[in-house]
Amino acid sequence: MATVKELKATARPKAGKGAARAERRAGRVPAVIYGDNKPPVTISLDDKVVRQSIFAGHFLTTLFNIDLDGQKYRVIPRDYALDPVKDFPLHVDFLRLGEGATIRVSVPLHVKGAEISPGVKRGGTVNIVNHTVELEADVDHIPQFIEVDVSKLEINNSVHLSDVELPKGVKPVLREDMTLVTVVPPSGMGEEAKPAADAAAAPAAGAAAPAAGAAKAPAAGAAKAPAAAGGDKKK
């Protein structure tokens, strides 16, 4: 289920790069609230709080109630920018959520049961094919993650999106099924299997050789017999 957190904001009357830099120097993060067919609202947030929220994880699937001078805005982060060198937040975009709204979110996968998977016990490795899934959800049922159980997977077995039970009010964006996780064989497994297959094929090939020789022998004898008979007639 979606987690709702509180954020305190202050109004940011000025827009532009210069005003944004001034906010950052003051320990604030410039942000904007948009959507729901209403004018955008420019705000600023405490740098430390925003930083903690981003690096705590699931930031883009977390609902926030932003308190701006007593007025509450129900929002979800849609994008953010970090400084490429120092990793501090530069800007955040929030989407305003109306009553009964549905949105598209990218939800991460969590894999469980790998330690008891028979394929893993035989030396296979769990390979996450898609680390996130694009889902459409109503705002009250946004999942923090999608859990994928691999406890019964053998080598070369997979879990597809259709195998996962999604929460209420959630459906995949893509119509086609997608592979989420598979158990891949250990490296060298194919090379070991090939000599074994060749060894098994060798006796079958050897058994076939005498049969071919036996078939040829009578034919050769039959070809010589008329020549010997002809020689007797000349004598």
pLDDT per residue rounded down to tens, the chain (235 residues): 566 899 999 998 777 788 889 999 999 999 999 998 899 999 999 999 999 999 998 899 999 999 999 999 999 999 999 999 999 999 999 999 987 788 999 999 999 999 999 999 999 999 999 999 999 998 888 888 999 999 999 999 999 999 999 988 899 998 889 999 999 999 866 555 555 555 555 555 555 445 444 444 444 444 444 444 444 444 3
* Tokens 């109630």 found at: 65
DSSP calls for 72-109: EEEEEEEEEEE-TTT--EEEEEEEE--TT-EEEEEEEE
d(CA 126, CA 134): 21
d(CA 119, CA 161): 20
d(CA 157, CA 208): 37
User: Taking the complete model, does pTM exceed 0.85, yes or no?
Assistant: no
**pLDDT score of 230:** 45
